[in-house]
């Protein structure tokens, strides 16, 4: 099959349009509401931060869901589809012709070999810059349109499964966060107990108490005796954190976690143990730094990107990992650390940086052991399900990346690929 597919210059099937340069002249186009400005950082993080007055922007810089966006400077070679907005100058708008299926084109540009090629032909050593001519030097295998659509459909089906798992994980993480917030930030069970006992409630918590009383009166909030028995019915004042439940304490993070440095992974052999960086899974190796529950904390870069893991793992030297000093506390401490604005604690100049000194000095609320253990048991149900879904996504991504070049080259026949996808 492969020798039946001719390869053509990609310029036969696409045209390029440059994004909008944001400078002193075009900054006046920024508005509070309008089309989102699609910068590389916004595309990567799926955010909408800045907006442009659509009526004053050249149409050639506006992307529709029929076009693709391809990054051309810095992080060269990332491709996005179904994005509507004003393309930033650090990207191309790629406009497919009628001779190529948009989704087939997306997957061709998505594959690792394309990314390697465009980075090789981009100019610049420190800051890569891909010009039109370099991009258009790509060649693309071109099966019949029906075949293009079938290839795209197979890959899209895998991507849909990955996206569904991501959404389920977000829901599970939100449920764990909601439980944590109710118990350890809003102190709902303590407030409920105090209201029932007729005890005084601090002024700082009076608004929450009024809300809880209204919810209790209306039946929207039910008291779970088994849960509420784990909590006190009054508050005490502390210098470190203000009002906290009576009998609980405040400790430094160093009393609860040992924060340790990650190490370089480049000399490790391939294996089945994950290596984590600030962006997540990087590779699989044959050695581990630690085996068990741990919170991974960025040391350099995006300081707020915390990760919870419970397995054998290795983490890179721009990350910290942690070892608990008290059992059944890691999930609780993970949620506690997410409350802190770690990015604002940056001690670096050029690159955002975190130190063990800053981390170790953080004040942490410590509930009773019974309360901690109950939270750990409930949170474990969420975290276990999340872990399963993450591993499924790793398997799906590996399958996608294995099938992609074989489908593009014609090495793998469509029915065989469809059967593989049906079996997952």
pLDDT, tens digit only, all 424 positions of the chain = 444 688 999 999 999 998 888 877 777 788 888 899 999 988 988 888 889 888 888 889 999 999 999 999 988 999 999 999 999 999 999 999 999 999 999 999 999 999 999 999 999 877 889 999 999 999 999 999 999 999 999 999 999 999 999 999 999 999 999 999 999 999 999 999 999 999 999 999 999 999 999 988 887 777 888 999 999 999 999 999 999 999 999 999 999 999 999 999 999 999 999 999 988 888 899 999 999 999 999 998 888 889 999 999 999 999 999 999 999 999 999 999 999 999 899 887 777 889 999 999 999 999 999 999 999 999 999 999 998 998 899 899 999 999 999 999 888 888 888 888 877 7
Q: Tell me the residue length of the chain.
A: 424
Tell me if 151 sits within 8 A of 21, measured CB to CB: no
Q: Nearest CA to 17 among 75, 77, 91, 76?
A: 91
Burial (0-12, 13-18, 19+ Cβ within 10 Å), 313:
buried
Write b or e for each residue in 99-120: b if 16 or more Cβ atoms lie within 10 A of its Cβ, otherwise e: ebbbbbbbbbbbbeebbebbee
Q: What is the distance, to the nearest Å, from the Cα of residue 338 to the centroid of all Cα atoms in its chain?
A: 14
Tell me if 214 sits within 8 A of 177, measured CB to CB: no
- Specify the pTM: 0.82
pLDDT of residue 117: 95
SS3 of the chain: helix, strand, coil, percent, to 5: 45, 25, 30
pLDDT of residue 4: 65
Q: Which residue is associated with the tokens 């069970």?
A: 189
Tell me if 195 sits within 8 A of 217, measured CB to CB: no
pLDDT of residue 422: 78
Q: Which residue is associated with the tokens 């693709």?
A: 68
Number of Cβ atoms within 10 Å of the Cβ of 131:
14
Q: What's the rounded Cα separation, in Å, for the pair 276 and 268?
A: 13
pLDDT of residue 346: 86
- What is the token pair recorded at 35? 């089309």
pLDDT digits over 3-25, tens only?
Answer: 468 899 999 999 999 888 887 77
Q: What's the rounded Cα separation, in Å, for the pair 294 and 260?
A: 11
Q: What's the rounded Cα separation, in Å, for the pair 336 and 203?
A: 24
Q: Nearest CA to 156 among 395, 415, 403, 406?
A: 403
Q: What's the rounded Cα separation, in Å, for the pair 20 and 305?
A: 30
Element (H, E) at 165: helix 145-184
- What is the token pair recorded at 177? 């966060």
Q: What's the rounded Cα separation, in Å, for the pair 297 and 277?
A: 9
Q: What is the distance, to the nearest Å, from the Cα of residue 370 to the centroid of all Cα atoms in its chain?
A: 32
pLDDT of residue 215: 87
Q: Nearest CA to 19 among 78, 87, 83?
A: 87
């Amino acid at each position: 099959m492969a020798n039946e597919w001719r390869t053509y210059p990609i310029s036969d099937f696409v045209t390029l349009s440059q994004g909008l340069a944001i400078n002193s002249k075009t900054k006046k186009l920024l508005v509070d509401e309008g089309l989102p400005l699609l910068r590389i950082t916004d595309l990567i993080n799926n955010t909408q931060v800045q907006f442009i007055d659509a009526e004053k922007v050249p149409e050639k810089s506006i992307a529709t869901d029929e076009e693709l966006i391809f990054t051309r400077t810095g992080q060269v070679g990332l491709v996005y589809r179904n994005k509507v907005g004003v393309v930033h100058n650090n990207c191309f708008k790629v406009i497919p012709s009628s001779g190529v299926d948009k989704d087939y084109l997306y997957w061709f540009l998505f594959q690792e070999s394309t990314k390697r090629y465009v980075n090789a032909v981009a100019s610049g050593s420190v800051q890569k810059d891909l010009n039109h001519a370099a991009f258009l030097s790509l060649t693309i295998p071109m099966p019949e349109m029906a075949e293009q659509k079938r290839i795209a459909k197979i890959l899209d089906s895998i991507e849909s499964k990955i996206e569904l798992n991501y959404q389920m994980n977000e829901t599970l993480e939100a449920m764990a966060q909601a439980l944590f917030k109710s118990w350890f930030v809003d102190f709902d069970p303590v407030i409920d107990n105090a209201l029932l006992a007729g005890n005084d409630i601090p002024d700082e918590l009076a608004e929450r108490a009024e809300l809880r009383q209204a919810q209790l009166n209306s039946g929207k909030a039910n008291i779970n005796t088994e849960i509420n028995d784990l909590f006190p019915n009054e508050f005490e004042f502390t210098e470190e954190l203000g009002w906290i439940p009576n009998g609980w304490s405040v400790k430094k993070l160093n009393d609860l976690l040992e924060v340790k440095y990650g190490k370089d992974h480049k000399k490790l052999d391939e294996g089945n143990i994950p290596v984590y960086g600030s962006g997540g899974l990087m590779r699989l190796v044959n050695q581990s730094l630690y085996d068990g529950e741990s919170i991974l904390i960025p040391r350099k870069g995006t300081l707020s990107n915390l990760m919870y893991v419970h397995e054998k793992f290795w983490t890179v030297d721009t990350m910290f990992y942690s070892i608990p000093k008290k059992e059944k506390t890691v999930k609780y401490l993970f949620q506690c650390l997410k409350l802190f604005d770690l990015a604002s604690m940056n001690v670096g100049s050029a690159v955002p940086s975190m130190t063990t000194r800053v981390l170790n000095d953080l004040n942490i609320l410590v509930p009773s052991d019974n309360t901690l253990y109950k939270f750990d048991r409930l949170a474990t149900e969420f975290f276990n399900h999340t872990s399963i879904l993450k591993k499924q996504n790793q398997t799906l991504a590996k399958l996608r990346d294995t099938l992609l070049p074989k489908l593009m080259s014609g090495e793998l026949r469509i029915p065989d690929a469809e059967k593989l996808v049906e079996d997952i």
